[in-house]
Amino acid sequence: MTPETERTLELDSKYHAPLYRRLKICLVKGSGTRVWDSEGREYLDCVAGIAVNNVGHCHPKVVEAIRRQAGEFIHCSNLYYIEPQARLAQKLVEMLPREIEKVFFCNSGTEAVEAALKLARKASGKPGIIAMEGSFHGRTFGSLSVTGQEKYRLSFEPLVPGVKFVKFGDLQSLANALDDTIGAVILEPIQGEGGIVVPPQGYLQSVREFCDENGLLLIFDEIQTGMGRTGAFLASQRIGVVPDIVCMAKGLGGGFPIGVMAARGEVMDSFQPGDHASTFGGNPLACAAALAALEVLEEEKLVEKARETGRWAMQKMEKIKLTHPSQVTDVRGLGLMLGLQMASERIAQEVFDQCLKERILVNRTAGTVIRLVPPLSISRDELSRAFSCIEQGLSSIR
């Protein structure tokens, strides 16, 4: 470890809040699917900032858009009209289902969820929310209140009241939770932090019907599943279900922080001036980055590539499961949102360690799941390298 790296670790330990379980790696540079640490070592990145760098690290178009906008105007409050913001709003609405007509800009996925919860309460006139066990929606009080994992919630209770948790994928559980206080249902089309959990076929369509029959608003958290990740701009578009409210962030800015809450026009119009706001939301720099990232998605056909590469990747993962049935209990995903369920946390950790040893960055989530959410530009050769390393890790376990 170089003195510079040691100094970074020392400063972080001394001055930064003790909130992260960091690997002893200091990343300093990225390009496409590769990143480099302060020691000069190169890694294949199959984490992509946790589904953020969908167009790859430091894509030239995104870099140039940020550089150009930074030289003109970095911040403008929402007391005034912002030209890049208006263009981005139009572009997003054109890419979203036709029923989704208006957007609100913020700075992160958590903020998008907070805006969605406030809008749902205002539009429905009811305080209650049905959320899913195993879900993850963020760490602020509102988003944490609808996150269905006790490990995130326990230290901060009491949280926002009126939330009922039901089993993801279970329609009867959903029906049993309904009462006259409930105004909305919130879920991820595919649970990310919960372990790449894909619902049963037809479940999301049935939830949509349930909400329509009972006068409930349906909120989709597409923060991780969106922006082409699953082989459509939104996972819900690939599945064929339109929510009333949708939250987006992560991959939208090409690596630059931005969040969006979008909704059907009549729902969004429940908001009045002053009901919600964001000082930095939709600032010129973030919007310029997002416009460039969306342009890259279209020009390089990355959404289509994610669909095709993801189909191939699922076949490769199925072969790994067949070869190691006692170690890999399930494989699942859609597009380039992929998970291999290991039989134990020990096996998952050993596979993770093997990948890190070979300088392939993967992520272990929900204890036993190896998650791969690489840049959408990743090649089959690069993914084959990652899968070979996973198999190597499995073969070495005794």
* C-alpha span between 200 and 279 (Å, rounded): 40
Pairing of strands 259-264, 245-248: antiparallel
With a CB cutoff of 8 Å and minimum separation 6, the contacts of 93 are 100, 101, 102, 103, 262
> What order do you get walking across the sheet with 34-37 strand by strand?
27-31, 34-37, 42-45, 360-361
Active site residue 221: yes
Active site residue 136: yes
Q: Return the amino acid letter for 28.
A: V
pTM of the model: 0.96
Q: Which of 126, 250, 305, 316 is catalytic?
A: 250
Q: Which of 164, 221, 233, 387 is catalytic?
A: 221
Structure tokens at 87: 């263009």
Q: Is 239 exposed, middle or buried (0-12, 13-18, 19+ CB in 10 A)?
A: buried
With a CB cutoff of 8 Å and minimum separation 6, the contacts of 226 are 233, 234, 235, 246, 248, 250, 251, 252
Structure tokens at 54: 């969908």
Q: Give the chain's domains with CATH numbers.
A: 3-55+301-395 (3.90.1150.10), 62-299 (3.40.640.10)
Active site residue 250: yes
Give pLDDT tens digits along the chain (398 positions).
888 899 999 999 999 999 999 999 999 999 999 999 999 999 999 999 999 999 999 999 999 999 999 999 999 999 999 999 999 999 999 999 999 999 999 999 999 999 999 999 999 999 999 999 999 999 999 999 999 999 999 999 999 999 999 999 999 999 999 999 999 999 999 999 999 999 999 999 999 999 999 999 999 999 999 999 999 999 999 999 999 999 999 999 999 999 999 999 999 999 999 999 999 999 999 999 999 999 999 999 999 999 999 999 999 999 999 999 999 999 999 999 999 999 999 999 999 999 999 999 999 999 999 999 999 999 999 999 999 999 999 999 87
Q: Which of 37, 45, 104, 136 is catalytic?
A: 136
